[in-house]
Amino acid sequence: MSAEISAAEPGQFSHRRLQFRAWRGTRPFWAGLFVLLGGLPILYFPYAHLQLGHLSLAMATTGGAGSLIIGVLLIVLGISLWFQQHIRTFAGVAAILLALVSLPVSNFGGFVVGFLLALVGGAMAVSWAPGVPPEQQPAQAGPAGDGGAPEVAPDGVNEPQDLTKTTPVNGTNGRHSAG
């Protein structure tokens, strides 16, 4: 590569990376990834036949079917968090409950690894909120002032608008009447 290649023109890889970054920013991506990764050890370990030297370790337990269901549901919830971000609260609560159920059902939740990943991912999904796009600043029409005190607004313009009518001034102190 020469030093004369312009860095201002992004290549195909840079363009796709920026597109992925923008897509990832509009949804609970990391929550979905943690939930999906939490489902993998819960699904894998009950069916695994591990070899430690000449020692064969078979994890065939009665929780095999339960582990299969919990693992597949966590993987589906993780993928649905990516593509249907409006169900984030349901998917987060369901992931937390499935992670808790996986403790007694599937070998301590995939040896606690899957349990922790699904629990953290579910909590992230419940707490995620879509970002607000930044507002455009209006252009200043006139020249800047002399830097002194702001002009006094007409009566009632700068008063806060309380639409709930529950202020200490009217005596309700945040309580609504039932009738």
Contact 57, 25 (CB under 8 A): no
In a domain, 123, yes or no: yes
Structural domain contains residue 17: no
C-beta separation of 145 from 118 below 8 A: no
Residue 86 has pLDDT above 60, yes or no: yes
Q: Which residues contact 58 (CB under 8 A, 6 or more apart)?
A: 49
**Amino acid type, 5:** I
Is 32 part of a structural domain of the chain? yes
- 120 occurs within a structural domain: yes
Q: pLDDT tens for residues 99-114?
A: 999 988 887 877 889 9
Structure tokens at 123: 């909590």
pTM of the model: 0.65
Structure tokens at 179: 């009738």
Residue 83 lies in a domain: yes
